[in-house]
Amino acid sequence: MNKDVSERGTAAAAAVSSAGVIDNTAAFKALPWPRKLVWHVQHYWQHWVMALPAMVFVFIFAYIPMYGIQLAFRDFVPSKGLTGGQWVGLKYFNQFFTSPMFSKVMINTIKISLGTLVLGFIAPIVLALLINQIHSTKVKGFVQTITYMPHFISTVVIVAMLNIFLTPNTGLLGRFFGGTSL
């Protein structure tokens, strides 16, 4: 064993703070990385158990799909599977970039992205500022409830509620404004 590593490990194991706690930092740093990992898992196994579902999720939905990236570089034949097609390199990328539809596709993609950005980022901020300007706490609470309802209640239930309120002859608003009642 390396003398320097041995001395650091011994010195670190012997280092005791004034509170009587052993400082193993230097000994831990002297370990090779596989042993560090084993030590870390043994000492912090509860943390690893809590992180395991997230790691499995990332593995399944981020790393496994990367296997399919190779389809962009192959002449894919479904009967031969993912790896059965002939390797064609950048053929499909060249075909896409030289296509007469490329500019139209890119413009449409940029329009959709900007529209999504405006509707998904700026519109909620404006709505929040408008709701904040409402002085009546009852009206503000009602507007907030109606605004956030789709996030908590299924679409089928919301449509049924709108139907109950807005049906011209039998809905609550229809009756309020003089429609025929049940």
Domain assignments of the chain as residue spans, ordered by start: 3-71, 101-176
The C-alpha atoms of residue 8 and residue 27 are separated, in whole angstroms, by 6
As given in the structure block, the two tokens for residue 156 are 């089928």
Q: Which residue has the higher pLDDT, 177 or 89?
A: 89
| pLDDT tens digits for range 110-164 | 999 999 998 889 989 999 999 999 999 999 999 999 888 888 888 888 888 888 8
As a whole number of Å, the end-to-end CA separation of the chain is 92
Contact at 8 Å (CB) between 82 and 70? yes
Average pLDDT, the chain: 82
- Whether residue 134 contacts residue 143, with contact meaning beta carbons closer than 8 Å, is answered with yes
The CA-based diameter of the chain, rounded to the nearest angstrom, is 96
Coil, helix or strand at residue 22: strand
Which residues on adjacent β-strands are paired with residue 16? Answer: 22
